[in-house]
Amino acid sequence: MSERRKARPATEVAHLGRDPHKHLGAINTPVYRASTMLFERVADLEAAERGEYPGISYGLHGLPTVTDLQSAVATLEGGYAALAVPSGLAAITLALLAVTRAGDHVLVTDSVYGPTRRFCDQQLTRFGVDVTYYDPLIAGGIEREIRPATKVVFVESPGSLSFEIQDVPAIAAAAHARGALVLIDNTWATPLGFAAFAHGADISLQASTKYLGGHSDVMNGIIVCSQATYPRLYKLWTDMGVSASSDDCFLALRGLRTLAVRLERHTRSALAIAEWLRQRAEVAEVIFPALPGARGHDLWKRDFTGACGLFGVILHPVAKARVDAMLDGLRLFKLGWSWGGFESLIIPAHPERIRTATRWEATGPYLRLHVGLEDTQDLIADLEDGLARLAS
Ligand SMILES: *Cc1c(COP(=O)(O)O)cnc(C)c1O
């Protein structure tokens, strides 16, 4: 269960989800490795069978390293309670399964993370759930898309490939007026950058693999629930047997301790690099909602309290071989799909390949950058050399 909110986020990340005097004074909750839990008396075992035992009855549920991560993130985000799972994708798929049944309809933003779309199209539909994609910029117009059978509106703001900021309060108002739940993938902003529940979410999903872990060494996902949705999620999480491991939750908790300072640095460095890129002749547009003047900036400013190091750049038309030469020769920006770690990354991205409800209009090749924690000037120098290869 979530703890009472009492401090600013940078303080909270240092203190939430740990209780040293329950663990011999150790500052961090240790890694509890356990499967079987022993009961002292038959009466305890019988209480566990009735669901009335106050202790932990099996290693799959309730080990302290796991529950401390859950309560910390639930509190940070302003939710009721959270569940930890083995990946961000598992958080998304479990949440969608928990709140739908055959005959239901789900609305999903066209800017959604690719594997979320794959799950919706290839798995949810198998269980008789109808899926429709909507324009991420639809705002209150979502009302026209809502059918009597619509049970969920799935939001990802900003989309982690194309960075549209969605009008979450307008979408949530329309969804709630028609009895639909709002699920949000809040991985880009993290609970520090976007208060999902204050803006109308019923369930907030976090790939803690990304910034929360922060060191590219853990796969982890967290489902934060409202009080009304928690029982359904808890039931499915228990029935499916998909708790995260203590080892992974330990790493996510360790990442949480420095989340505020890391995000501050990622954001500052990304803004400096985005500003620099915007001035370059090779660049058509920088898509970074935290950047003044960029698309989505006004809504970002209205609703968000922070950003991160992930953004997109549209280049002017240029041969693919030149883009490949630019990327292949980079010394610091490495080629990799994931993000949120200390290291800088870059990929050619193709939003046009997966969209079905809207068109991705770009004049030239599109790159997604993750600005890591390296020195900003070194990163700019790397990109400057890369742009020289692009033009040569
Ligand atoms: C990476 C990512 C996920 C999935 O996280 P995994 O831990 O890699 O499964 C979900 N949503 C977004 C926006 C992501 O970037």
Kindly give the number of the ligand 1 atom that is closest to the alpha carbon of 209.
7
pLDDT of residue 226 exceeding 50: yes
Q: 209: Cβ below 6 Å to ligand 1?
A: yes
Q: 185: Cβ below 6 Å to ligand 1?
A: yes
If one residue of 111, 160, 216 were mutated to test the ligand 1 pocket, choosing by the most ligand atoms within 8 A of its CB, it would be 160
- For the entire predicted model, the pTM comes to 0.96
Contact by Cβ (8 Å): 226, 197: yes
Cβ neighbours for 174, distance < 8 A, ≥ 6 positions apart: 140, 142, 143, 146, 153
Q: How far out from the chain centre does Cα 166 lie? A: 15
Q: 192: Cβ below 6 Å to ligand 1?
A: no
Q: What is the pLDDT of residues 304-326, one digit of tens each?
A: 999 999 999 999 999 999 999 99
Give me the residues paired with residue 82 across strands. 224
Nearest Cα residue to 315 out of 372, 273, 277, 342? 277
Res 164: pLDDT: 98
Ordered domains of the chain (ranges, CATH): 9-30+61-256 (3.40.640.10), 259-391 (3.90.1150.10)
Q: 187: Cβ below 6 Å to ligand 1?
A: yes
pLDDT of residue 130 exceeding 70: yes
Contact by Cβ (8 Å): 160, 310: yes
If one residue of 156, 163, 187 were mutated to test the ligand 1 pocket, choosing by the most ligand atoms within 8 A of its CB, it would be 187
Nearest CA residue ID for atom 15, ligand 1: 160
The answer to which of 47-56, 148-157, 202-211 has the lowest mean pLDDT is 47-56
Q: What is the DSSP string of 209-255?
A: TTTTT-SS----EEEEE-TTTHHHHHHHHHHHT-PPPHHHHHHHHHH
Res 6: pLDDT: 66
